Amino acid sequence: MLLRWTDDDFKIHSRTGRGVDWPISYDDLVPYYGEVECALALYGEVDNIPTLPDSIYGHRAEMTAAERTFKDDVESKWPERRVVTWRYIGPEPTRILPPLRDAIASGNLDIRYNTVVSKILTDNGGHRATGVEVIDRVTREKTLVHARSVILCASPVESVRLMLNSASPRHPQGLGNSSGTLGRYFVDQLPCVVTGTYSKAKGWTTADNAPADPFYGPSGGIYVPRFIATDGNTAASDFAFQGSIGRYSTPDDANARFSFFGYGAMDADPENRISLDPRRRDAWGIPVPHIRCKIGGHDRQTLKNQIEAIVETIENAGGQIEYVGSPLGLEEKGRGAYPDADPISRLIFRWMFSRTMVMGAAIHEAGGARMGGDAQTSVLNKWNQSWDLPNLLVTDASAFAGSGVSGTTLTIMAMTVRACRHLAAELRGGDAEG
Ligand SMILES: Cc1cc2nc3c(=O)[nH]c(=O)nc-3n(C[C@H](O)[C@H](O)[C@H](O)COP(=O)(O)OP(=O)(O)OC[C@H]3O[C@@H](n4cnc5c(N)ncnc54)[C@H](O)[C@@H]3O)c2cc1C
């Protein structure tokens, strides 16, 4: 799934009074979203929904008959609750996606395999990044790689870990941490899951236009974006749902099966943070990250609202819920979870649920090196450059100033292209704002 984020995310403080506004807005990212989408040739449909801006699509996406019935039922009862197709990328048989293929073809890319970055190097004054220290995964040999600029995009936990592990006398609390916010304001999204059956449709189908993938099953499904407020433009809720109906293998005469996963925006709390574990080290001797990601009172309320909304939506559209679960607990309804499974499997599911449906289950982690409007409260400027060392960029989701309700990947890619274009212009000495 590749979805654009919106000013409902980027300007959350202006909209809700909570969190902080990002130093960039949706309009800043639009050209870069478009560029990435064209390179990836997404599957999707033009939906014209204010809370989920359309992408540029290369292919059509389809709903199953069951999903179309569900969409008609939901939208006719609640016009502010919209049901759209997934927007997704098709399979790539070579396993090398077009942006990487283009980079290799440019002749400007060297890939170093088995090379684990352990630290970012700086000049003596600690004002500029000068490269990275790397460890050969096989021989354990350490070498230095020098560079005019260093761009970290190693995923939120890892990029922050590397910056913390690069502490020096000039940067005693971690590289680029003069604000004291490095590692802090770490967020994920509030997860919930709902499954059951849908008696208005029987059996199953694939409804995926993309070519078959040799390793994975078909893709596709439906998505319920943030509900639309009465002004017709802004969001009325801070959660969204991704799921499918009638795509799970079932006998032709059995009720279709559905499953939805919910994603809620989590408050950015400075106490939720990545730090270096003082005792444990990984296979290469680098301190492992310690992650604190706990939900607070407002998150609890968002999660409750999120669960109530998905249960109400499904039940009113004629679905029979078997279970709904989240970090708040597991609630079984009707015949309960996996009613046709054997008792031991059902017992194991109940026992394991509270251990797996925890914060982190949404896998949309972000923050830790947030961008902002000033060097006192953020790690990066609006071009993803470290305030302290401007030739060090961080372009993964650790740069995000807050949580959202959709996957992070498309925004990471758009933000990375934007930041790198700006850096290239700076290196050429041209118009860096362009
Ligand atoms: C199961 C799953 C499903 C997901 N589904 C979606 C989805 O549908 N839509 C969506 O938007 N998002 C989804 N996500 C989230 C998405 O995968 C991430 O947002 C995205 O991959 C982050 O990109 P990244 O480049 O920051 O990190 P990564 O994709 O993790 O890439 C980081 C790279 O850096 C390398 N690296 C890390 N540390 C070092 C080091 N020390 N030295 C050298 N190299 C290093 C890693 O090997 C890796 O290749 C999903 C995540 C998971 C786990």
pLDDT (tens digit per residue) in 207-257: 888 999 988 889 999 999 999 999 999 999 999 999 999 999 999 999 999
Atom 4 of ligand 1, residue of closest alpha carbon: 363
Q: What is the pLDDT of residue 42?
A: 97
Q: What is the pLDDT of residue 434?
A: 40
Max CA-CA distance within the chain?
72
For a ligand 1 pocket test, name from 113, 408, 416 the mutation site with the most ligand atoms within 8 angstroms of its C-beta: 408
**Distance, CA 204 to ligand 1 centroid (Å)?**
31
3-state DSSP call for residue 399? helix
Q: What is the pLDDT of residue 275?
A: 98
Distance CA 349, CA 307 (A): 20
**Distance, CA 153 to ligand 1 centroid (Å)?**
9
Q: What is the pLDDT of residue 97?
A: 87
Count helices and strands (H / E) in the chain: 9, 16
Q: What is the pLDDT of residue 209?
A: 86
**Distance, CA 363 to ligand 1 centroid (Å)?**
10
Residue 58 φ/ψ region, left for φ over 0, alpha for ψ in the -120 to 50 degree band, beta for the rest: alpha
**Distance, CA 396 to ligand 1 centroid (Å)?**
9
For a ligand 1 pocket test, name from 111, 363, 394, 417 the mutation site with the most ligand atoms within 8 angstroms of its C-beta: 363
* Ligand 1 atom at minimal distance to the Cα of residue 396: 26
How many residues does this entry show for the chain? 434
pLDDT (tens digit per residue) in 63-73: 999 999 999 99
Does the pLDDT of residue 430 top 70, yes or no?
Answer: no
**Distance, CA 251 to ligand 1 centroid (Å)?**
36
Residue among 233, 245, 190 nearest 65 (CA) = 245
pLDDT (tens digit per residue) in 259-288: 999 999 999 999 999 999 999 999 999 999
pLDDT (tens digit per residue) in 128-162: 999 999 999 999 999 999 999 999 999 999 999 99
Ligand 1 binding residues, C-beta < 6 A: 1-2, 116-117, 153-155, 158, 363, 396-397, 407-409, 412
Long-range contacts of 129-137 (CB under 8 A, 24+ apart): 129/175, 129/386, 129/389, 129/391, 129/392, 135/284, 135/285, 137/284
User: pLDDT category, 26, cuts 50, 70, 90?
Assistant: very high
Compute, in degrees rounded to 10, the torsion defined by CA atoms 100, 102, 104, 105. 160
For a ligand 1 pocket test, name from 114, 409, 415, 420 the mutation site with the most ligand atoms within 8 angstroms of its C-beta: 409
Distance CA 162, CA 286 (A): 9
Distance CA 402, CA 16 (A): 13
State the average pLDDT for the chain.
Answer: 96
Distance CA 75, CA 77 (A): 5
For a ligand 1 pocket test, name from 114, 153, 155 the mutation site with the most ligand atoms within 8 angstroms of its C-beta: 155
Count CB atoms within 10 A of the CB of residue 90: 17
Atom 34 of ligand 1, residue of closest alpha carbon: 154
Q: What is the pLDDT of residue 431?
A: 53
**Distance, CA 74 to ligand 1 centroid (Å)?**
34
pLDDT (tens digit per residue) in 39-50: 999 999 999 999
pLDDT (tens digit per residue) in 182-211: 999 999 999 999 999 999 999 999 988 899
Atom 53 of ligand 1, residue of closest alpha carbon: 363
Q: What is the pLDDT of residue 432?
A: 55
Atom 7 of ligand 1, residue of closest alpha carbon: 1
**Distance, CA 380 to ligand 1 centroid (Å)?**
20
